[in-house]
């Protein structure tokens, strides 16, 4: 589940309170490891997901990340000009983000054998959006203004971020993650004419820079653009092994268009977890039926689980997947 370890679990909230701040929780390997493993102790999940945040990379670039209660992430030093971009340096993940790599190694020491660990990063476009807006955007006027008024400056920023994200994910792979995922949370805000230029091209640049071939395996890759259904065919051509889908697109239609090229991940509407358990079970079965028979489907939410979801409803979703999926996937 997206945000698999997080605010909806009471055991997570206890550790978060112990840490004192969200960034302290992310940057303390013992605590980040603990909350990574918490969902697997409670639910029958097929993988662990590294507990971290997509904004660790821009924080390591000196933007001064802080989380404001009720407002979300904020940067004390947003990027607003060519001079700001020129000053940015690509962080060394083994020093500037060492705490993430220590967390990965600690998780692998404590993770049950055979359970894969998913690492991740934000996409260059999504990270740029937060960096230019100074936090979460509403109308995204600052990042879009930069795109239209000074596209060369934005491209310079995206190039630096693509290099930073590739280094970051390669460091996670070296530390022990088994899968990597790139979250393009804000790709869907782009006009159709600009998505491939400003978002997809830089996600592909990251992919092409990954050290995917390890001694005994090849690291699978997943790409997710929220609101990106109209670009599904272009995303399937990039070389990612799987594409995440948000809840606005039929997984059956996605399979017809791209399922012969990529696996698909998704895509239950997170809001469905507020429904009665019988309804949750119906929605799970509906998605499985839409995908149909055969392999290549990773069941997931279409975006992050929300903080006030009842954990028992999350459990009902997971158990429904185990109950219904063998009829479609044969196991």
| Annotation says 16 is catalytic | yes
| Annotation says 255 is catalytic | no
| Annotation says 281 is catalytic | no
Q: Is 108 annotated as a binding residue?
A: no
Q: Is 171 annotated as a binding residue?
A: no
Give phi and psi for 280, each to the nearest 5. Answer: -60, -45
Rounded to an integer, what distance in angstroms lies between the CA atom of residue 160 and that of residue 154? 10
Q: Which of 53, 178, 184, 241 is catalytic?
A: 53
Q: Which of 130, 168, 195, 202 is catalytic?
A: 130
Q: Which helix (H) or strand (E) holds 317?
A: helix 311-324
User: Residue 320 in contact with residue 280, Cβ under 8 Å?
Assistant: yes
Q: Is 257 annotated as a binding residue?
A: no
- The 3-state DSSP class for residue 231 equals helix
| Annotation says 53 is catalytic | yes
Rounded to an integer, what distance in angstroms lies between the CA atom of residue 38 and that of residue 107? 11
Pairing of strands 117-122, 48-49: parallel
Q: Which of 12, 16, 205, 246 is catalytic?
A: 16
Q: Is 53 annotated as a binding residue?
A: yes
Q: Is 202 annotated as a binding residue?
A: no
Q: Is 5 annotated as a binding residue?
A: yes
Q: Is 216 annotated as a binding residue?
A: no
What are the helix (H) ranges across 237-310?
251-258, 277-291
Structure tokens at 311: 């954990």
Q: Which of 7, 42, 80, 105 is catalytic?
A: 7
Q: Which residues pair with 119 in a beta bridge?
A: 180
| Annotation says 8 is catalytic | no
User: Residue 318 in contact with residue 45, Cβ under 8 Å?
Assistant: yes
Rounded to an integer, what distance in angstroms lies between the CA atom of residue 82 and that of residue 156? 9
Cα separations in angstroms, 302 against 4, 52, 254: 12, 19, 13
Rounded to an integer, what distance in angstroms lies between the CA atom of residue 181 and that of residue 85? 26
Structure tokens at 6: 């997080």
The annotated binding site for substrate is made up of 3-7, 53, 130, 185, 303
The annotated binding site is made up of 3-7, 53, 130, 185, 303
Active site residues: 3, 7, 16, 53, 130
């Amino acid at each position: 589940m997206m945000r698999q370890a997080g605010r909806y679990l009471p055991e997570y909230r206890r550790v978060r309170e112990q840490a004192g701040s969200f960034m302290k929780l992310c940057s303390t390997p013992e605590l980040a490891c603990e909350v990574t493993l918490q969902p697997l102790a409670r639910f029958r999940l097929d993988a662990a997901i590294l507990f971290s945040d997509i904004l660790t990379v821009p924080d390591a670039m000196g933007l001064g990340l802080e989380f404001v209660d009720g407002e979300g992430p904020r940067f004390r030093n947003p990027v607003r000009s060519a001079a700001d971009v020129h000053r940015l340096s690509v962080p060394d993940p083994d020093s500037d983000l060492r705490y993430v790599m220590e967390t990965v190694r600690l998780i692998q020491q404590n993770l049950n054998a055979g359970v894969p660990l998913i690492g991740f990063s934000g996409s260059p476009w999504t990270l740029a959006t937060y960096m230019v807006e100074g936090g979460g955007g509403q109308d995204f006027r600052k990042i879009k203004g930069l795109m239209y008024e000074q596209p060369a400056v934005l491209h310079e920023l995206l190039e630096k971020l693509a290099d930073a994200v590739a280094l970051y994910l390669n460091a996670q792979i070296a530390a022990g993650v088994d899968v990597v995922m790139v979250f393009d949370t804000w790709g869907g805000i782009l006009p159709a004419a600009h998505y491939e230029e400003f978002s997809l091209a830089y996600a592909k640049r990251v992919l092409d820079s990954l050290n995917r071939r390890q001694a005994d395996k090849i690291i699978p890759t997943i790409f997710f653009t929220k609101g990106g259904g109209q670009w599904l065919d272009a995303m399937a051509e990039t070389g990612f092994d799987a594409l995440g889908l948000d809840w606005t697109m039929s997984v059956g239609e996605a399979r017809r268009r791209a399922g012969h090229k990529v696996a698909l991940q998704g895509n239950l509407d997170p809001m469905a977890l507020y429904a009665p358990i019988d309804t949750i079970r119906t929605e799970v079965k509906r998605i499985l039926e839409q995908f149909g028979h055969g392999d290549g489907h990773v069941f997931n939410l279409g975006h992050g689980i929300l903080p006030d979801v009842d954990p028992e409803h999350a459990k009902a979703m997971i158990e429904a997947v185990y109950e219904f999926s063998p009829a479609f996937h044969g196991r």
